Amino acid sequence: MKQAVVCYDLSRSAGWAVWAPKLHAPRFGILQLPPPLSNGSVGPALALLFEHISWVDRNYGPLAHLGHEMFLAPTGGKKDAKTSFITSPKTVKALVGFSGVAELAAHLLDIESHQIHNMSWRRSWVGAQPRGTGRDEWKRLSVAKAMRCGWAPQGDDDADALGQLHFLLAKLKIVPQWQKAIDMADVRLPL
């Protein structure tokens, strides 16, 4: 019976997190995808991502759901840490390709695919933040939340994948064994 759920934070350093009934805690990590070849091809990165999804299915599955952060179209302008504008055609090509591979893998595995909007999972994972909260602050909060749950992400990529997994499990009405740790991480003690 297919039950496992995996989520990917798709980028060159692709964070991933998986839940399966047999796991007492999520498994997560970062998959380093190779840069484009000299001819601009992102084929090796796409192949490695596909292989990783297959590996997760074999080792933690069988998978029932695959979630990944929704691709947001570039808005123009220069790439900037504060605004996250993306203009590089290579970057756009890779991000569209990563989303395509996730959708293809879900289709071939005959499982549900879920595109997860970044503000939806972020609010679910770390709570609402003031308008204008920057990308770096969201990333810091994501890592801090994972640490409060007792998990040690390698960086913000796998912490974000954990946040997406948390969101998707709630959407699917799946309550993992570790939910108590997440609930406790959200308890705020008075100052």
Q: For residue 153, is the peptide bond before it cis, meaning its omega torsion is within 30 degrees of 0?
A: no
| Beta-strand runs (E) in 20-123 | 27-32, 63-69, 112-116
Listed in sequence order, the residues at least 6 apart from 148 whose beta carbon sits closer than 8 Å to its beta carbon are: 185
- When pLDDT is cut at 50, 70 and 90, the band that residue 138 belongs to is confident
Which DSSP category does 174 fall into?
A: -
> How far is residue 171's CA from residue 183's CA, in Å, rounded to a whole number?
16
Per-residue pLDDT at 175: 86
pLDDT exceeds cutoff 60 at 42:
yes
pLDDT digits (tens, 9 = 90+) for 90-114: 777 878 889 999 999 999 999 999 9
Per-residue pLDDT at 118: 83
Listed in sequence order, the residues at least 6 apart from 156 whose beta carbon sits closer than 8 Å to its beta carbon are: 15, 139, 140, 142, 143
3-state secondary structure of 100: helix
Q: Which helix (H) or strand (E) holds 8?
A: strand 4-9
Listed in sequence order, the residues at least 6 apart from 165 whose beta carbon sits closer than 8 Å to its beta carbon are: 5, 6, 7, 17, 18, 19, 26, 28, 67
